[in-house]
Amino acid sequence: MIILKNISKKFGNHTALNSISLTIGEGEIHGIAGANGSGKSTLLNILFGNPVIRNTGGYSGDIFIHGRKAVIHIPKSSSDYGIGMIHQEFALIPDMSADENIALCREKTYALTEKIFGKNFALIDRRRTRDAANHIMESLGIHIESNLRVAHLPVNLKQFIAIAREISKENLSLLMLDEPTSALNRNDSEMLLNTVKKLSQKCCSVLYVSHRIEEMMNICDAITVLRDGKNIAQYHKKDEFDLDTISTAIVGERTVKAVRKASQRGSHPVMTFKNFSVNMPHEQISDLTMEIFRGEILGVTSLSGHGKSALGYGVTGFYETGGQVILENEKLDIADSRNTLSKGILFIPEDRREKGLLLSQSVMKNMVFTALQTSDNYYLHRFPLPFLSLIHHKNCRKYAEDSVEKFGINCRSVHQKTGELSGGNQQKVCIARACAVNPEILFISEPTRGVDIRAKEIILETLLDISENFGATVIISSGEIEELKRVCDRIAVLYKGKLFAVLSPEHSDKVFFQAMSGMA
Ligand SMILES: Nc1ncnc2c1ncn2[C@@H]1O[C@H](COP(=O)(O)OP(=O)(O)OP(=O)(O)O)[C@@H](O)[C@H]1O
Ligand SMILES: [Mg+2]
């Protein structure tokens, strides 16, 4: 049993956690819900001994594990207590392969060398180490070539590698998962939830953080709701969970769902793909021939690895492409990304920490840095000679402050480093960056990943707004069918990298899932 007593944490003057007390029983799956910035990851980071906690003044309060007071200041001590964590943003070593990441610090060694030199200096038995790691991956149903570096893998595979690494720990008694399914599709999520249930049956306790309330209601024995760092409510499965009550407790009011009111889809194609292909590791698109119409909101969906994430990366030149992209009547030179941006084409990737943000820069800089690359914009002083243009700090600050207000971004000021924001708030900064550019064609991948239930609706409303009021064409790649159906005019379904069907939002979920599985 794990007991937390009066856990508090401050970052400077900001109180992230205010006297949290919790009891997690043996084999209990305990959910932590709350809006972006409510303190969920901070609580997990304290139990994990994340150095960021110590480096920012530590925490107060007590942790008891199996009746004994635990002192956790570094990850090694939490690991010794049998605590494992799946981080919200992947904590993998990008230049290592999947099996190397899984076995890291727990490599198998040759027994004889261990006897002679001791555990720390024994020779690593690479074959046994790789086999053990592969065995765990197989038990999770994943197959990854061992020569591929993790950096090149899509987010769903990275997530499974992180899980494989934690569940391979022999003394695991508490597993903490911070939004583990936000990057996963329905099948992958179910696989993960089953793994978590099996662990709890083996008496491993689980702390489970998610914005997917229904998923938590399905898997958790109890759900604690945090708001502004305080424990404001606790619900138990035995009393029956109620979606409405929990959702309202999280944001303090009922949320209104965003829906497409009037389609702005024109009759002229604004972008045409001709035999287009994208060669992204673990996710390819091949032979895509399709038109995107001016003003439409087009959804692109598929199972993970079947192509939905590759489209935006391909058009903006992140990976090798083939075939053609025609913009109006002119062939787009994909290799020239500045030219692509100057044509008003923008891509916001789902991997916000690696490819979507400058973490050491301020919220304001992140919001305007792409817009500053375009000519004649609101964020530069206008001079007759364009190369003399200076940044218009007042306009930049005004845009940033307005966006903080609009999206409800939880930050101290627009000058705070983006890396210090909670995961969902970072995602909102990405969306504000897209809006600053005023794009003609916006490719956006998993726009609501990791954001709370209210922010989700604000982001979807924003995408509707830039289509309906600014005439932009929006292409949303997402696995969230329910959301796509609410805001899109058409939804393209890819299967094995090929266009399998173009469905209307009226089609049933069953038709969508059949198409995603390649069934006509
Ligand atoms: N390293 C840091 N420095 C300064 N403030 C921080 C730091 N890490 C977190 N915070 C602040 O602490 C608060 C709680 O953040 P936390 O990451 O725990 O939120 P969260 O509930 O996990 O949100 P999300 O759902 O967006 O992941 C936020 O206001 C955040 O800005
Ligand atoms: Mg978090």
Q: What is the pLDDT of residue 21?
A: 96
Domain assignment present for 355? no
Residues 6+ positions from 342 with CB-CB distance below 8 Å: 374, 375
Work out the average pLDDT over 133-161: 80
Q: Are residues 270 and 405 in the same domain?
A: no
Task: From the CA of 425, give the closest atom in ligand 1.
Answer: 26
**Domain, as residue range, for 299:** 255-344+439-520
Q: Are residues 277 and 375 in the same domain?
A: no
Q: How far apart are the first and last CA of the chain?
A: 50
Dist. CA 15 → ligand 1 center (Å): 10
Choose one of 36, 42, 454 to mutate for the ligand 1 pocket test, by most ligand atoms within 8 angstroms of C-beta.
Answer: 42
Domain assignment present for 309? yes
Q: What is the pLDDT of residue 387?
A: 62
Question: Which has the closest alpha carbon to 245: 228, 229, 225?
Answer: 225
Domain assignment present for 42? yes
Domain end residue (candidates: 213, 231, 251): 251
Q: Are residues 194 and 308 in the same domain?
A: no
Q: For residue range 47-96, what is the model confidence (pLDDT) as tens digits? A: 999 999 999 999 999 999 988 999 898 988 898 999 999 987 767 888 88
Domain assignment present for 270? yes
Domain end residue (candidates: 436, 461, 484): 436
CATH of the domain at 240: 3.40.50.300
Q: Are residues 123 and 201 in the same domain?
A: yes
Q: Are residues 173 and 210 in the same domain?
A: yes
Q: What is the pLDDT of residue 367?
A: 95
Q: Going by CA atoms, what residue is nearest to atom 1 of ligand 1?
A: 420
Domain assignment present for 428? yes
Task: From the CA of 412, give the closest atom in ligand 1.
Answer: 31
Q: Are residues 280 and 205 in the same domain?
A: no
Ligand nearest to the CA of 422: 1
Q: How many domains does the chain have?
A: 3
Q: Are residues 161 and 192 in the same domain?
A: yes
Who wins on pLDDT, 413 or 138? 413
Q: Are residues 365 and 489 in the same domain?
A: no
Domain assignment present for 57? yes
Q: Are residues 336 and 366 in the same domain?
A: no
Domain assignment present for 331? yes
Degrees (nearest 5) of the Cα angle 382, 392, 389?
Answer: 40
Q: Are residues 169 and 283 in the same domain?
A: no
Q: Are residues 391 and 270 in the same domain?
A: no
Q: Are residues 106 and 201 in the same domain?
A: yes
CA 381/CA 392 separation, integer angstroms: 5
Q: What is the pLDDT of residue 185?
A: 76
Task: From the CA of 427, give the closest atom in ligand 1.
Answer: 26
Q: How confident is the model at residue 422 (pLDDT cuts 50, 70, 90)?
A: confident
Domain assignment present for 247? yes
For residues 11 and 54, the answer to whether their CB atoms sit within 8 Å is: no
For residues 499 and 492, the answer to whether their CB atoms sit within 8 Å is: yes
Domain end residue (candidates: 251, 275, 308): 251
Work out the average pLDDT over 235-256: 90
Instruction: Please count the CA atoms within 13 angstroms of the CA of 456 that sit on its side-chain side.
Output: 24
